[in-house]
Amino acid sequence: MTGLHNLIEKVPPVVPQPTKEGAVYTLNLLSATGTAILLSAVISGFFMKYNPVTLVRTFFKTIWLVKYSLLTIVLMLALGTLTRYSGTDTTLGLAFANTGVLYPFFGTLMGWLGVALTGSDTASNVLFGGMQKVAADQLGLSPNLMGAANSSGGVMGKMIDAQSIVVASTATRWFNHEGDILRYVFFHSIALACLVGLYVTMQAYVWPFSLMVVH
């Protein structure tokens, strides 16, 4: 990306040597998940005897129903990119390293929070992945463990993210009951995230759980 490529430089203690941050964006339409979903929907529509006009109308109606969810996803992905290239992720990582031995637990909850905010495990990894690596390096933990913890904890936040709740209420035609769904599943979500956090902490420090960690 012009105006950003190789203009950001990471320096110690974040990295061993000063390293320029590349800003290269590659759009792979054929391998993108959305492309496969769109093609599947179109093919299924024709098999179900829908005409092209009905398919297009249904598409835009669906877009309108989930417009706020889509906007949230786009903005959170943008925030994740901004967090990375502004160095905020490394600043957060250094700050979270101050939690010391409790970091594996709280790092897992960061993944949970990321998915709860963004609605996507991928977006959460983009948002907090750099932070997890920096904090793990500072504490002598495995970056692979904390990266996996970010993703695993994030899965537990999937049930309370706005996008999933909107999709569930829309698919079941239970409109305007998103708050009811959130209140019902919130405790289960945080409880499961805490259990994952405890398991990650044992993997970080307790034998034989630590044998499963790839360094």
139 is a domain residue: yes
What mean pLDDT comes out for the span 187-200?
94
Specify the number of domains making up the chain: 1
Supply the range of the domain harboring residue 172.
Answer: 66-212
**Residue 1 pLDDT exceeds 70:** no
**Residue 211 pLDDT exceeds 90:** no
The chain-wide mean pLDDT, for the chain, equals 83
Per the listing, tokens 């959460």 go with 124
Percentage of the residues of the chain whose pLDDT score is greater than 70: 94
138 is a domain residue: yes
Q: Are strands 19-21 and 8-10 parallel, antiparallel or unpaired?
A: antiparallel
The pLDDT assigned to 139 comes to 86
- What is the spatial distance between Cα 160 and Cα 214, in angstroms, rounded to a whole number? 30
**Residue 25 pLDDT exceeds 70:** yes
- The pLDDT tens digits for 68-80 are 777 766 777 777 7
Confidence class for position 186, pLDDT limits 50, 70, 90: very high
- What is the spatial distance between Cα 156 and Cα 154, in angstroms, rounded to a whole number? 5
**Residue 165 pLDDT exceeds 70:** yes
163 is a domain residue: yes
